[in-house]
C-alpha cells in the first residue's frame, strides 16, 4: 500500500473529533475540539474547532504526507452559502491539506458498512432518513426540522409527552407517571390536590416550554422511555407512533424491493431505546446495522479516497 496517512473528522454540534490513520488502518493520532455545526455556531468558530481537532490529530506527523481528509459535518447544507463556504476553504488552505466535506449521515453510514449503497436512518434530537448511493446521500425523507418534521425524534417524543400531560390536566385525570414526570421536570410540580388550578398549571407549562428553544423539548424523551418501561399507556402509544414514523421514512428512502443495509444512528435508535427495539423489529427482514463511530467512518472514507476500495477500516489500537 501507498505510504502517508489520512484524516477523518466528526464535526458535530457539541464536539469535534479527528483521527489520523495510516494505510494499514492503524490510528496514529486523535484530536478533539468544540462543536462545529455551522447551523449552531458562527462559521469562523466552527471552522476553527475543526482545524484545532485536525492539528491535534496530526501532532508529530508531517501534514504534507496527508493523502486525504474527510470531514463528516452536521449542518453541512450551510456550506451552500458561498460566504460560509469561503470561511471553511480558507481554513483548509491554512492547514495545507485537501479536505472533502460530507454529511454526518454519510460518515455514520460508512462507519457501519463497507457497502456503497443503502439507507441511513438518524434519530437523535432531530430525525432524517437518507438514500445512500456510492457512499453519498442522494435523497432524503423527513429531516425538515422541528417546525415541519423531525418525526420520531427526541424532540418529537418530548413534544408528545408535553401534549399528553396537557391532555391529562385538561381532562381532570390523575397526574401520575409520565404527566407527573413532565411537570416535575418542567415546573418542579409533581403532585396535585383538589385545590390545584389545572388551567393555570397548563398555562404555566405551555409558557415554560415556549420560552425555551424548541429542541429543548427533547429533554422529555427519556421520561417517555421510563414510562414505557413501566407499561404506561400514553408512553406506549408515543413510542409506537415514533417507531412507525421512523420506519415509514426509512422505507420511503428505499426502493420497494431493495435489499441493501439500513444503518441506524442516534440515541433514539439505540439498542436500549424502546423506539429502537420497535424499529429493529419492523425492519427485521432487512440487514439492519448500527453506526459505531462517525469519526472512524469519515477516516475510512478518507482512506478509500487515498488508498482505494481495499483500504482496511481504521481501528483504535
Sequence ranges of the domains in the chain:
5-114+292-307, 116-260
pLDDT tens-digit series, residues 28-66: 999 999 988 888 789 999 999 999 999 999 999 999 999
Give Cα 128 distance to the centre of its chain: 9
Report how far residue 147's alpha carbon sits from residue 266's, in angstroms, rounded to the nearest whole number.
20
Model pLDDT, residue 52: 97
Give Cα 278 distance to the centre of its chain: 19
Report how far residue 27's alpha carbon sits from residue 14's, in angstroms, rounded to the nearest whole number.
23
**Residue (of 135, 127, 101) closest to 8 by Cα position:** 101
Model pLDDT, residue 2: 52
Q: Are strands 15-22 and 27-34 parallel, antiparallel or unpaired?
A: antiparallel
Whether 203 shows a pLDDT value over 90: the answer reads yes
- Phi and psi at 217, nearest 5°, equal -60, -25
Whether 131 shows a pLDDT value over 60: the answer reads yes
Average of pLDDT values for 79-105? Answer: 94
Mean pLDDT computed over every residue of the chain: 92
Model pLDDT, residue 124: 86
The CATH classification number of 116-260 equals 3.30.420.40
Report how far residue 214's alpha carbon sits from residue 220's, in angstroms, rounded to the nearest whole number.
12
Average of pLDDT values for 79-103? Answer: 94
Q: How confident is the model at residue 316 (pLDDT cuts 50, 70, 90)?
A: low
Average of pLDDT values for 226-239? Answer: 96
> Which of 168-177, 184-193, 229-238 has the highest average model confidence (pLDDT)?
229-238
* Grid coordinates of 152: 420520531
Q: Which stretches of the chain are assigned E, i.e. beta strand?
A: 5-11, 15-22, 27-34, 66-73, 100-103, 118-123, 127-133, 136-141, 262-265, 288-290
Average of pLDDT values for 297-317? Answer: 89
**Residue (of 129, 125, 145, 152) closest to 250 by Cα position:** 129
Alpha-carbon Rg for the chain, nearest whole angstrom, is 22
The CATH classification number of 5-114+292-307 equals 3.30.420.40
Average of pLDDT values for 162-170? Answer: 96
Q: What DSSP string describes 86-131?
A: HHHHHHHHHHTS--EEEEHHHHHHHHH---SSEEEEEESSSEEEEE
Cell 483500504 identifies what position?
A: 311
CA angle 229, 230, 235 (to 5 degrees): 75
- Indicate if 116-260 has the same CATH topology as 5-114+292-307: yes
Q: How confident is the model at residue 278 (pLDDT cuts 50, 70, 90)?
A: very high
Whether 20 shows a pLDDT value over 60: the answer reads yes
Q: How confident is the model at residue 1 (pLDDT cuts 50, 70, 90)?
A: very low
Model pLDDT, residue 199: 94
Whether 139 shows a pLDDT value over 50: the answer reads yes
Question: Which secondary structure element, helix H or strand E, spans residue 49, and what is its range?
Answer: helix 43-57
pLDDT tens-digit series, residues 100-130: 999 988 999 999 999 999 999 999 888 889 9
Model pLDDT, residue 317: 54
CB 96 within 8 A of CB 62: no
Q: Which distant-in-sequence residues (6+ apart) come within 8 Å of 259 by Cβ?
A: 286, 287
Q: Which distant-in-sequence residues (6+ apart) come within 8 Å of 63 by Cβ?
A: 95, 96, 97
CB 13 within 8 A of CB 40: yes
Whether 282 shows a pLDDT value over 60: the answer reads yes
Beta bridge partners of 10: 17, 72
Amino acid at each position: 500500500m501507498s505510504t502517508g496517512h489520512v484524516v477523518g473528522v466528526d464535526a458535530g454540534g457539541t464536539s469535534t473529533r479527528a483521527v489520523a490513520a495510516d494505510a494499514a488502518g492503524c490510528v496514529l493520532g486523535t484530536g478533539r475540539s468544540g462543536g462545529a455545526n455551522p447551523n449552531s455556531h458562527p462559521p469562523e468558530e466552527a471552522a476553527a474547532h475543526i482545524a484545532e481537532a485536525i492539528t491535534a490529530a496530526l501532532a508529530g506527523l508531517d501534514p504534507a504526507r496527508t493523502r486525504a481528509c474527510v470531514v463528516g459535518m452536521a449542518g453541512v447544507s450551510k456550506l451552500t452559502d458561498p460566504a460560509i463556504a469561503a470561511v471553511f476553504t480558507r481554513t483548509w488552505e491554512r492547514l495545507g491539506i485537501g479536505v472533502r466535506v460530507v454529511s454526518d449521515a454519510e460518515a455514520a453510514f460508512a462507519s457501519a458498512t463497507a457497502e456503497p449503497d443503502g439507507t441511513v436512518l438518524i434519530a437523535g434530537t432531530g430525525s432524517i432518513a437518507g438514500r445512500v448511493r456510492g457512499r453519498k446521500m442522494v435523497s432524503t425523507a423527513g429531516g425538515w426540522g422541528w417546525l415541519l418534521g423531525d418525526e420520531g425524534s427526541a424532540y418529537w417524543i418530548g413534544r408528545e409527552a408535553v401534549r399528553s400531560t396537557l391532555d391529562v390536566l385538561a381532562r381532570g385525570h390523575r397526574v401520575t407517571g409520565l404527566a407527573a414526570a413532565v411537570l416535575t421536570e418542567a415546573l418542579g410540580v409533581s403532585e396535585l390536590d383538589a385545590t390545584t388550578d389545572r388551567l393555570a398549571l397548563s398555562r404555566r407549562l405551555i409558557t415554560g416550554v415556549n420560552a425555551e428553544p424548541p429542541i429543548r423539548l427533547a429533554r422529555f424523551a427519556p421520561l417517555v422511555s421510563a414510562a414505557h418501561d413501566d407499561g404506561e399507556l400514553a408512553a406506549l402509544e408515543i413510542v409506537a407512533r415514533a417507531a412507525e414514523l421512523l420506519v415509514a421514512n426509512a422505507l420511503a428512502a428505499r426502493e420497494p424491493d431493495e435489499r441493501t443495509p439500513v444503518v441506524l444512528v442516534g440515541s433514539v435508535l439505540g439498542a436500549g431505546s424502546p423506539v429502537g427495539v420497535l424499529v429493529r423489529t419492523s425492519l427485521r427482514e432487512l440487514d439492519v446495522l448500527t453506526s459505531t463511530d462517525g469519526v472512524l467512518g469519515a477516516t475510512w472514507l478518507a482512506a478509500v479516497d487515498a488508498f482505494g476500495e481495499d483500504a482496511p477500516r481504521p481501528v483504535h489500537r
